[in-house]
Amino acid sequence: MAEMTDVFFVDGMRTPFGRAGEKGMYWNTRADDLVVKAIIGLMERNGDVPKDRIDDVAIAATSQTGDQGLTLGRTAAILAGLPMTVPGLAIERMCAGAMTSVTTMGASIGVGMYDLALAGGVEHMGRHPIGGNVDPNPRFVAEKLVDPGALNMGVTAERIHDRFPHLTKERADRFGVASQHKVQAAYEAGKIQPDLVPVAVKNAEGAWGLATEDEGRRPETTLEGLATLKTPFRPHGRVTAGTSSPLTDGATISLLAGADAVKEFGLAPKMRMVSFAFAGVEPEIMGIGPIPSTEKALKKAGLTIDDIGLFELNEAFAIQVISLLDHFGIADDDPRVNPWGGAIALGHPLAASGVRLMIQLAAQFAERPDVRYGLTAMCVGLGQGGSVIWENPFFDGKKKRK
């Protein structure tokens, strides 16, 4: 008989993230090949896990068409060399696609139906711009269910500034600069590179190269420079390219396991799933979505925000992260928040980003036995938020030394 079990994040890897568009390093690389490369890298690093014991493969993509269509979890599993006996599926929850892959597979493990699963996501925004090749129902506008501007994420970010005037452009600019500098410091310290899977890429001239680092970083960013940037979403607005995540291509993948599988294969989990929640908000201000989803996840876990020792918050826009921090009484520059920077510098390949947050949190847990709980959270287009709370298996109950 199947029994309830703990759910563990055993490992996670990702491709380097590339700038979307013709000048980006993945312009001539298929989206499904990015996922395949990530799966191969993860399985090679976890060679003690038999491929035929993977119960399911969930891969998310926001634009499920072209090379991101055709039931990605199944096609990527076959292309990555997993046995034909391993099934797969595709998931879509816009920005929280990979996060939903993890929670869906995690729930299946938790109720004892699965032992091992792969969960991740991909987005090739160069090939598939957000909202491309879709046909929104005209009732949304005709019946005033949703303001047309709600489909433009930048416009929704401007509206958070409108709603909370004390969350100023200057605060957002400072947050954007800090993200760039923290990512660069993490790179220089070798924190991020161990979980990247190198990808062979071909340029416009047909010459081959190797993608080994995230392409969109701008460590030279300054406050003075950000102050001069245009506000593309509104004249005299407050949201700029310097406080937004860039359009990005990339893929992520994670290996999840139940307690019996961990024991059977001698695995060393990096995190234990404690709780998760998703929530809906007005699409016009979708950026505040992680606030109610985090409150729900905390309640389900029997925790408070003060129990969270590390935060990995997706930086779709600086103002979106700041609004969550402000709600919970956390300083913009709190060292617990995105200590290695975030999507403003690394990029946000929509459906892939949730697992990137988890990969970084897992790596930080290994360095921080003083921290017991961590949070991965993100806003989601069309007015949603997603949050997952994790426990650190390395927690020793000792306070961090000064």
Q: Which residues on neighbouring strands pair with residue 60, listed in sequence order?
A: 91, 121
CB-CB contact of 195 with 13 (8 Å): yes
The Cα–Cα gap between 116 and 262 comes to: 9
The residues carrying an active-site annotation are 95, 348, 379
The Cα–Cα gap between 270 and 37 comes to: 22
CB-CB contact of 28 with 202 (8 Å): yes
CB-CB contact of 284 with 147 (8 Å): yes
Residue type, 77: A
Neighbours of 16 (CB within 10 A): 26
The Cα–Cα gap between 177 and 199 comes to: 28
The Cα–Cα gap between 69 and 90 comes to: 8
Neighbours of 110 (CB within 10 A): 17
Instruction: Give the residue from 343, 379, 344, 322 showing the smallest Cα distance to 169.
Output: 322
Q: How many helices and strands (H and E) does the chain possess?
A: 12, 12
Q: Can you read off the two tokens belonging to residue 295?
A: 């409150």
